[in-house]
Amino acid sequence: MKRALFLVPLLVWSSAALAQGGHSSRGFGHRGQRSEWASSPLVPQVLKEAIRHGAHARFYGRRKVHFAHGNVNVDFTEIVYRDGPRTRSEFPDGSRFAGQIIVEDGHVRKEFYPDKNEVIVKEPRHEENLERLVRLARRGADGRIVLTKGPGMKVAGHWTVQIVVQDKDGNPLQRLYVEPKHGMMLKREIFDQGGAKIGYFVFDKINFDPPPFDPSLFRFSRRGVRVITPYDVLRDVASKAGFAPTFLPRSSGYKLEDVRVANRRGEDVLVETYGSRQGRLSLFELKTDVSPDRLHQFERDELHAVTWQAGGKTYVIVGAASSEALANVARSIGYGTP
C-alpha cells in the first residue's frame, strides 16, 4: 500500500512530463525582433511608414487583382472600403463575383455568397496583411532579401515610391509602389523564379479622405442565410471526397481559412490553407504515398515541409517556417471535428 502511494504520483508526473514532450513553448522566434527592422538602415523608410500607417489607413477605392493560379488565370475588380482594421469588399455589376460581400469588423471576417445564400465566418485578414509587410521588413533587416528604394510611378493619380524586393542574387521577387504621404501601398507585383510577373494588384481609383463611413457598412447581418465556418466546409468536403476531416487545432495558432480538393496526377488531394500571425501554411491530405526525401529536395528559404502517415492517409505540411517549427505544428494535430 505504501509502495502504491509512492508509485502513483511518480507515474503521473513522469507521464505528464512525457506528454509535454518536445513541443512545449518553442515558437517561431519573432518576438523581440520588431525594433531590429524598425531601426535597420537596410529597410527603406517608406516601407516602415507603410507598416506604421497600415493599421490606421482610411480610404475608399477600387483595385484590380490579377494572378495566375496553376493553369488558371484569375482577374477581378473589387471596390474596397477601409477604416483602420475594418474593411468591406464588393464587386461591380457585370463581375462574376457581383453580389458577393466581404466584411471585416476587426474581430471577424464574413464572406457572403448569394448563390448559396451562405455566409462563411473566418478570422480577419487585416492584421495578417500587416504582418506580411513586417515579415518582409524583417527579412530585409536580416539580409535574407534586399530591399531597394527606387523611383515610382503615378498610380490612381498619386505619385508613388517604388520598393524593389530582390533575393541575395539580385533576382526580383516583388515590386511595391507606396504613396508616401499616406504610407499606402497602391500597387504590388509578384514575380516567379524566372522573373516572370505572375500576379499583381493595382488601385485605379482611391480617395484618401472619404466621408464618414456608417458602421453598418462593415457588418453583415441577414436573416435566413446559412452561417458556416471553414471547419464545417472541411467536414463536408472531406466526407464527400473520402478523406479524414483532419485539421490543425486552433491552439496551434493557425486558423483554417480555405478547404478544397485538388487533383494532381490523377490523385485527389485535400488542400487546407491556414493563416496566422506567423504566416500561412498548407496542410495536404493524400490517399497515396509521398517521398519525404523528394519533398526536402524542393525546400529552400521560406519553403519547408514535413510529412507523416496516419490512419492510412499521408499528410504534408508546407510553410515558410522552419522544418522544426512545422513539425511542432504537426504534433498539435487533432482528429475529428472541432
Partner 1 sequence: MNENFKNIDEKLNSGPQQMVAHLVSSLPSEEPSMLWRSGLNEALRAQSRKAERRRRFFWVLRPLSLTTACALAALLVVRPMMMPPSLSTPKAHAMVSNGIERDLMDLHQNDMRAFDVGGAGLDPTEAARTSSVTQVSWTDDSEADLEL
Q: Does 277 bind partner 1 (CB under 8 A)?
A: no
The percent helix, strand, coil of the chain (3-state, each to 5) is 25, 40, 35
CB-side exposure of 170: number of CA atoms within 13 Å?
A: 0
Q: Does 286 bind partner 1 (CB under 8 A)?
A: yes
Least distance from partner 1 to the Cβ atom of residue 214, Å? 17
Q: Does 168 bind partner 1 (CB under 8 A)?
A: no
> Scanning residues 240 to 259, which ones bind partner 1 (CB under 8 A)?
257-258
Considering only 67, 159, 208, 213, the residue that binds partner 1 (CB under 8 A) is 67
> Scanning residues 74 to 93, which ones bind partner 1 (CB under 8 A)?
74, 76, 78-80, 87, 89, 91
Q: Which stretch binds partner 1 (CB under 8 A): 2-10, 26-34, 43-51, 236-244?
A: 2-10
d(CA 293, CA 305): 10
Least distance from partner 1 to the Cβ atom of residue 16, Å? 10
Instruction: Catalogue the long-range contacts made by 260-263 (C-beta closer than 8 Å, 24 or more residues apart).
Output: 261/237
Q: Does 123 bind partner 1 (CB under 8 A)?
A: no
C-alpha to C-alpha distances, 83 to 58, 108, 111, 207, nearest whole angstrom: 4, 15, 18, 12
d(CA 189, CA 201): 7
Residue with cell 500561412: 280
Instruction: Give the angle 62-164-167 at the CA atoms, nearest 5°.
Output: 125
Considering only 98, 144, 260, 337, the residue that binds partner 1 (CB under 8 A) is 260
Least distance from partner 1 to the Cβ atom of residue 35, Å? 26
Q: Which stretch binds partner 1 (CB under 8 A): 28-36, 45-53, 141-149, 287-295?
A: 287-295
Per DSSP (E only), the strands in 100-142 are 101-104, 109-113, 118-122
Q: Does 333 bind partner 1 (CB under 8 A)?
A: yes
Least distance from partner 1 to the Cβ atom of residue 149, Å? 19
